[in-house]
Amino acid sequence: MWNVAHGAHTPTITLIHRPTIFCSIGFTVAACKLPLRRGKWKPRQIIAVSSASLTHSNTVHSVSLSNLGPSEEHRQLLPQISEEDFVVVNFYHFVFIEDPQAEVSKHLYFMRDLDIHGRIYLNEQGINAQYSGPSKHALAYANWLREDPRFLDILVQVSPAIDGHAFPKLKLRYKPSLVQLEGDFSHVSLLDPSKRAIPLTPSEWRKRLETLNGKRDTKYILLDIRNGYEWDIGHFQGAQRPTVDSFRYTSFGLSQTKDAASDPLANVDKEKTEVLMYCTGGIRCDVYSTILRERGFQNLYTLKGGVSNYLKDEGSKQWVGNLFVFDSRLSLPPSAYNPETESCSTPQFSGNNAFARCYICNSQVSQLRHRNCANLDCSLLFLCCKECVSELRGCCCSECTSSPRLRPVLAGPQRYQKWHIYRDFKQEQPT
């Protein structure tokens, strides 16, 4: 057992896990082989600390889960969550990482005993993480990361999981781009905050929307940087529906089109128009605002922490509907982030006829949650009313109902599993 003390302001870190290889300074362990099932072996990297490069940023810490479990901040956010209850954690941070591959290995080593599933990507410009696990494990990783001065001020957002893990497995790896965009934007630096949009706190955002909505002569644009299907179940009042169904193809303010119907930033005065951008957690806005800065847009503002942070602090004020999330839950009501916000089972008034409409019959849906087409070879993500779900047996169109790889209709908030689970399923054919 050994302790590492960083200073008076940080907790003592104590190793209480399984036995660990102890290395003196200067001794390097490049890899070791660990036994797997069925007699197979798999190499596993271990970060070593050399005497030539012993710094705070590259030291491997073994952490006690009892010391780095849920903080008081997270207990206040989710007072009903125990250490065994599953949660979903989201955060991102832009910071220079000299050796991201080594950073990935260090994170993998720390997480070797943690029950965590999700997507965690690192590169030279930072980290982007969405993952699930028992709160004791999920928050231990976030708090361990905060022990590193480079990640001290990350905004960690926590929400309850519905039924165990929200992700099928853990993907923790190096990725050239923290978010995907079509085109050559590899030159864009995300490390300079002055090149990104000005962040507004949730309260500042709400006040700005209330002020702008009362002044029709003010030049401003409320820009939803998400996908169209995300807008379909929830958005800020007054936001135009995005015309893309994949963020990587977003081109607001970049295309040559003069059609404001497809590009809200077309024909605007780049020096005088205020552009208020928002997305789910904030990273898409931070990345895209950097690109818009290069294109001459001067007055860019973004919602700090995204919609999820706003719903936690401000509830559903100025917001309509649910929030789309990229995990097995798919949709969360505002009450998931702020228990004091009343949960509404039926859609709220949007003022836009495209909101909460069935993909098949265009009627208004009562459940703000997407489903995948039952045809495995289609798997379209779409909104659907109960009547159409029953009539088309979970498919998005009549053509898909005759697919040879048809899955059963899922009831409730479920996601389809691997095809072999349904391979022998025989859907009753209509007469």
Residue from 265, 258, 261, 221 nearest 243 by CA: 261
* pTM for this entry: 0.77
221, 268 Cβ separation under 8 angstroms: yes
pLDDT in tens, the chain (431 residues): 333 334 444 433 333 333 333 333 333 333 333 333 333 333 333 333 322 332 333 333 333 444 455 555 555 555 567 788 999 999 999 999 999 999 999 999 999 999 999 999 999 999 999 999 999 999 999 999 999 999 999 999 999 998 899 999 999 999 998 987 766 666 778 999 999 999 999 999 999 999 887 666 568 899 999 999 999 999 999 999 988 877 776 777 776 665 556 788 888 889 999 999 999 999 999 999 999 998 899 999 999 999 999 999 999 999 999 999 999 999 999 999 988 876 554 456 566 667 999 999 999 998 899 999 999 999 999 999 999 999 999 999 999 999 999 999 987 777 888 888 887 766 554 44
Helical residues (DSSP H) of 116-201, grouped into ranges: 135-146
Residues with Cβ < 8 Å from 74, sequence gap 6 or more?
135, 139, 156, 158
**Using CA atoms, how far apart are residues 276 and 330, in angstroms rounded to an integer?**
25
State which H helix or E strand residue 212 sits in. Answer: helix 202-213
Question: Which residues 6+ apart lie within 8 Å of 216 measured at CB?
Answer: none
Residues 285/302, Cβ–Cβ less than 8 Å: yes
Question: pLDDT value at position 249?
Answer: 64
**The pLDDT value given to residue 237:** 92
Q: How far apart are CA 311 and CA 337, in angstroms?
A: 6
Q: What 8-state DSSP symbol labels residue 371?
A: E
Residues 6 or more apart whose Cβ sits within 8 Å of residue 100: 122, 123, 124, 174
76 burial via Cβ count (<10 Å: 0-12, 13-18, 19+): exposed
Taking the C-alpha atoms of residue 175 and residue 122, their distance in angstroms, rounded to an integer, is: 6
**Residue 397 known to be catalytic:** no
CA distance 264 to 69: 44
Which entry of 23, 279, 285, 397 is annotated as an active-site residue?
Answer: 279
Residue pair 351/375 in contact by the 8 Å Cβ criterion: no
Using the CB atoms, write b or e for 201-213: b if 16+ within 10 Å.
Answer: ebeebbebbeebe
Q: How far apart are CA 207 and CA 192, in angstroms?
A: 27
φ, ψ at 115 (rounded to 5°) = -90, 85
CB atoms within 10 A of CB 277: 22
CA pair distance 139, 347, nearest whole angstrom = 33
**pLDDT at site 129:** 98
Structure confidence at residue 339 (pLDDT):
85
Q: Are 210 and 318 in contact (CB under 8 A)?
A: yes
